Each structure stands twice: as C-alpha cells, then as structure tokens.
Structure 1
C-alpha cells in the first residue's frame, strides 16, 4: 500500500512539474507571466488570452498605464474608484449620480470622458467612461465605448485583434 501511495505522489509531482515546464515553453524567455502579451503589426494589436481565457491588457489613459480586462459585454469603459482617483478623474467629494448595472447588481457611478485611450498603437480619443463608487469593482473594464470605435475587433482561439 505504501508503494502505491509513493508512486501516486511521484506521479502528481511529475505532472505538476511537466505542466509548469510546458507553461514556460509557451512564454517567451524573460517574459513576466503576470503581464499580458501584446503583438503589433500593420496598425493592429493582437492580445493573447491569459490562463483563464480572458484578455487583459495594459492600456494607456492620459499617458498613464492602466491594467484592464477586455469586456465586450460592458457598454462603456468602467474604472474602479481607486483607478479614477489615481487618474485625477474623481475625488472623495464627487457626486456619483449615474446608475449602472454590473454583474454584481446596480451601483452608482460618475460619468467621465477619457481624453485618450491607447492599446499599443491603437488610440481612440474622447472615450465615454464611468468611474464606479469606492469598492464597487476591483478590475477596470475596457468596454464598447472604446471597442465599438475600432474598425475591427476579432477573436480567433486565444487571440484578440484590435484594429483602428
């Protein structure tokens, strides 16, 4: 019985090791697996899905890096309160008089217009967005107020191509 348990333990350890090695093979040398991968060509940007199948990207808003989750189900770009505060879009005394519906239910938000949003070489000006109340959301969403202004948004397997 002990031999079977040891054999099973070695099999599990071997499987975990092989999975980590295969994952390392898919990442370019020196790449940070936590950072989204982005490739550019001919005025288009192609994003690689993360391990969960989501497309995450570091956008640039007003010259500042903002981590975002691409969400075609979001009507507008949606920012957390903390991100909106860091970008100078909101402060603690602002009125959050818009009502938006999220996957977690209805929340209050403040409407804003982002001067520019850039993903690599793809740039859109004057993007409508909302900043949600403190604690309403952890991730920033790259919604249709940005995506809908692109010439092409195309998904193929684990890749998403954005073209202006």
Structure 2
C-alpha cells in the first residue's frame, strides 16, 4: 500500500506541473499548504491502512475524509487553471474544435492536421465552415454558403475584381446581418461572395479587425473580444 501512496504523490506533483508549469511550490504560494496536505494525508492514510491495529479502520476513514476535503479545496483553488487544462485537452483531442472561454472573453481554435485553422461560424442562423485566412482582406463566402445564409448568387452584382494565383476572379459585395462564433457576436459585417466555386469559405480581416486582439501560439489561435 505504501507503494500506491508514493504513486499518488507522484500523480499530484505531475498534475501541479501540468497546471502551473512548476514542479515545486514558489515562495509566494506558501508551499501550497492544501495541496501538500492532500498528498501527505494520502501517504499516511495508505500506510495506516496497511497496519492491522484496532484503530486502523477508524483512522483510515478519518484520513479518507480529510483527503477528500483537501481535494475539494485544491480543485476549487485551481478551478481557473484546471479550466485551461480542459481546453488544451479538447483542442488536442479534436483539432479545429472551437473552445469557448467566456470567463476572459476569448476563444481558442486548435490547428488542424493540414496546418491550417478551421472553424464554424453561425451566419444568419446557419452554421458555415470556414478556413481562417488572415491574408484575405475580407470574409469570402463560397456560392454554396451564400445560398445557405440567404443570398441568391445568380442575382448578385460581381463588381469587385481580384487577382489571385489562379487568375482573376470577381466577387459580389454583401453584408452579413448577424455573425456568431462562440461568445463573439457581430452585426452588419462586410463580406463578398466568390464568383466561382470554392472548397471552403474564407474568414478574413473584416472579422479579425473587429476583435480586441488575436494571436497564434503553440498551434492554437486565440481570439479576444
């Protein structure tokens, strides 16, 4: 049983490292009194459980309750850090998944296997997949996506001329009345409808310019508003 207690202690220290990036407590933290109380209570409780004295059963129950209370205190104290760990877990498990962090008004999008960032926006109550493209000056809707959000591609005026690597293309300017991504809400956002078919719509700078900031770090795109 003592060996199991040592394993538990190692798990506690590993969790601390994953949450805070530090293995040992820092001076200003007071050595994480409750976290180490949890580890010690588990260690001592396991040792007592291995003994066969008459008090062993009662002490084991008391030790178990102490460990449980300490665990609740530690989880509550690190609730924000643990939320960040949860987000990192899901973005790793599901690349391209948008994870909302409403407590600090930010979103995290993980990089997909193709090296790009993909996400899904709700436009005029329709879910539309997008490829993030900060090199695009505006939001570019494919003809199919435009139809889904209420535009008739055959009735639009394709007056904007763009030169791309594949040649010259014509776009039709439109305005998106309502756009949503997680906790982000935008209204009357300028966009264009592409004159030719596209594999996926592009999320360009008319979206990003309305944010407080955005950044890319460790294969994650963070949006703040």
Normalising TM by the smaller chain, what interval? 0.7 to 0.9
Equivalent residue number for residue 77 of structure 1:
139
How far did residue 118 of structure 1 move? 1.4
Q: Find out whether 1:148 has 2:209 as its counterpart.
A: yes
Decide which of 114, 117, 128 is 1:52's aligned counterpart. 114
SS of equivalent to 1:92: helix
How many residues align? The count is: 134
Q: Which segments of structure 1 move beyond 2 Å, counting only runs of 4 or more?
A: 100-105
Contact 1:122 / 1:162 at 8 angstroms: preserved in 2?
Answer: no
Whole-angstrom CA distance in 2 between matches of 1:44 and 1:103 = 34
Computed over aligned residues only, the root mean square deviation of the Cα atoms, in angstroms, reads: 2.0
How far did residue 147 of structure 1 move? 0.6
Whole-angstrom CA distance in 2 between matches of 1:114 and 1:37 = 23
Decide which of 126, 138, 141 is 2:199's aligned counterpart. 138
Q: TM-score, normalised to structure 2's length?
A: 0.55
Q: TM-score, normalised to structure 1's length?
A: 0.74
List per-residue Cα deviations over 1:42-78 (Å, max 9, x = no partner).
Answer: 2111000001121100111111100001100000000
Equivalent residue number for residue 83 of structure 2:
none
Contact 2:110 / 2:220 at 8 angstroms: preserved in 1?
Answer: yes
SS of equivalent to 2:172: strand
- Give the unaligned 5+ runs of structure 2: 1-87
- The structure with higher relative contact order (CA 8 Å, sep 6+) is 1
User: Of Structure 1 and Structure 2, which has the larger fraction of its residues in strand?
Assistant: 1
Q: Which has the larger radius of gyration?
A: 2
User: Of Structure 1 and Structure 2, which has the larger fraction of its residues in helix?
Assistant: 2
Whole-angstrom CA distance in 2 between matches of 1:125 and 1:104 = 32
How far did residue 91 of structure 1 move? 3.3
